[in-house]
Amino acid sequence: MCGFCGYMQNDDITEKDTILAMKESIIQRGNSDNNIYINNNVALGHVRLSIIDIKNGTQPMKKTINNNSYTIVYNGELYNTNLLRNILITRGYDFTTECDTEVLLLLYVEFKEKMLRFINGIFAFAIYDENENSIFVAKDRLGIKPLFYTVSNDKFIFSSEIKGILASKFISPTMGKEELLELFSLGPAHSPGKTYFKNIFELKAGHYALYKNNTLTINKYWDLEEKKMFDDDSEIIDNVKFLVSDSTKKQLVSDVGMSSMLSGGLDSSIVTKIASDNIKELNTYSINYENNDKDFVANSYQLTKDSDFVKIMVKYLDTNHKTIIVDDNSLFNSLYESVIARDMPGMADIDSSMYVFCKEIAKNDEKVILSGECSDEIFGGYPWFYKEHLKKAKGFPWALSENLRQNLLKENLLNKDDILNYILSSKNHTLKDIRHISLDSFENEFKEINYLTIKYFMNTLIERTDRMSMRNSLEVRVPYADHRIFEYVYNVDAKLKLGLRNSNEVVEKYILKQAFKNDIPTDITNRKKSPFPKTYSKTYLLLLEEKLNNILNNPSSRLNEIINVDYVKNLIETHGNELKENLFGQLMTYPQTLAFLIQIDYWLTTYNVKIII
């Protein structure tokens, strides 16, 4: 895993300071090696975290074929590298490395944009075609790897992170009305392709683009599509087991060590079991918080503690396990570093805890770790897949907080219904991409929620994992984020996914549980879905309240330019007891709402964001 950046302009590039600054801004994405490439009107930068073919995989990588030169910068992993290499060998290509970068570059030389149909993996890359004087960029089907871009003053500028674009100085950090609506209507999520910065965009999942003759052309090459399912229930369960197992095994390829995140939940336990069967003395890691075992309070969403189930899996698999304990001060102080990692306000301490977790894992000389993320989104693990009041909600079911969001903003900054209208508009715009083939309303309703969850909620979690891990030069692999799994399971009957085929009681992720029921302990398969753990510390809450009060009492605070100060002060005075909505479901309740506002203030100040409404 790596990071890259670059730009193309009309005139020849005569200095290297700009591309050096861009590269240096993303240096923590890869601490093994870094280089730049300048040719004519194109500059490319790359930072590398060496995982495969450590000696020979240096980027930018240039190949000359039939008197034309092609240069690539790439971030990701291909999981069918050997197959693709063999295809290219049969077509007459020679290889000088064992890394997938060379495979990817030669695929483009041979197939151009059609190359994307052959690839199984997570990736973002840019290829400079010297003869055509063009830049081709692409992103994996599910959007696991990041790629941001802007077109400004006849320049095409791109980077794995927004900070790389800003470091070019070709564009200034600005927020307009639409970006403000993105932040306060959807945040910490955002619409596919959009950011909280004006004129800085993210290449959407399953899309590619070509910049040539001062024109950027963007095309979609993949999306989830409804198809008729012909397999019976037992075949579906067998196929799910094969796909998840195959995807996990494919992702165990590495020239450095491999470890696994283990929460004690179904998803990470399955991945860790498969890894443990194939790797001797597997290292596993879990996260907990200072005094959480003592302070834990069960609720309808989190009935059990992770730590109890982690112990079950560690004993079952006999892994080398370490629990990372996050203390209050580290959690609080990392709120700021996690903004830098994401380049935008994020999921508050859901982000900062992951940042600390990855930082501590990396201290153990780990470079690659497996994660159970992206399972709930496709297998039906969240409550909004089956709870009627969430399914029938007007807005996004994980963020039914339009009143809170409107109240947080300064009066008269926006019109009364702007927040709600933006939420509904974003939701409806995304749903236009769905083409139903069924007349079953239950099935169609499930498909729509499934699609929205993948495009918005999953993307928010993916960003969190990528930025927090890569900020610490740690690569996180997500076996469930295999497009084969998503294409197949997306078209499994909703009632089978929810265990409602022969029962009136919902069983979350029914087919996944059935597929692996003989491979992991019954206590794990019977455990109810539990969200990412949060701290229950009152000390942490006091730190948030004190910090936010200081911000609100500072007349020069950037937050006060947009926030309803009296409303937020009242929230703090009542310790959130009058709060009737959660900002982002159970992941972001009262403490995380305060932390989110603190992050917004820090972001506006640190990035010097100019607000133009």
Mind listing the pLDDT tens digit for each residue in 380-401? 999 999 999 999 999 999 999 9
Q: Among the options 2, 99, 358, 374, which is catalytic?
A: 2
Asked whether 564 and 410 are in contact (CB, 8 A), the reply is yes
pLDDT at 327: 96
Rounded-to-integer distance, Cα 139 and Cα 223, Å: 12
Asked whether 71 and 136 are in contact (CB, 8 A), the reply is no
pLDDT at 55: 64
Residue with tokens 């670059």, as numbered in its chain: 6
Write out the CATH class of domain 2-172+198-220.
alpha beta
Rounded-to-integer distance, Cα 479 and Cα 496, Å: 22
3-state secondary structure at position 77: strand
Asked whether 372 and 437 are in contact (CB, 8 A), the reply is no
Token pair of 29 as six digits = 């994405």
Domain spans of the chain, in order of start: 2-172+198-220, 233-400+412-525, 538-611
Token pair of 16 as six digits = 């290297």
pLDDT at 56: 61
String of DSSP letters for 265-310? SHHHHHHHHHHHHHSTT-EEEEEEETTHHHH----SS--S-HHHHH
pLDDT at 1: 57
Tell me the per-residue pLDDT of 190-245, one tens digit each, with 9 for 90 and over: 999 999 999 999 999 999 999 999 999 999 999 999 999 999 999 999 999 999 99
pLDDT at 54: 54
**Which residues of the chain, if any, have pLDDT below 50?**
none
Asked whether 459 and 143 are in contact (CB, 8 A), the reply is yes
Rounded-to-integer distance, Cα 157 and Cα 6, Å: 6
DSSP element (H, E) containing 103: helix 100-111
Nearest to 467 by CA among 296, 312, 352: 352
99 is catalytic: no
Exposed/middle/buried for 46, CB within 10 Å: 0-12, 13-18, 19+? Answer: buried
Q: Which CATH number describes the domain made up of 233-400+412-525?
A: 3.40.50.620
Asked whether 54 and 32 are in contact (CB, 8 A), the reply is yes
Contacts of 55 (CB under 8 A, 6+ apart): none
Cis peptide bond N-terminal to 531, omega within 30: no
Token pair of 59 as six digits = 């980027």
pTM of the model: 0.96
HSE-up of residue 467 (Cα within 13 Å, Cβ side): 27
3-state secondary structure at position 6: strand
Rounded-to-integer distance, Cα 220 and Cα 201, Å: 15
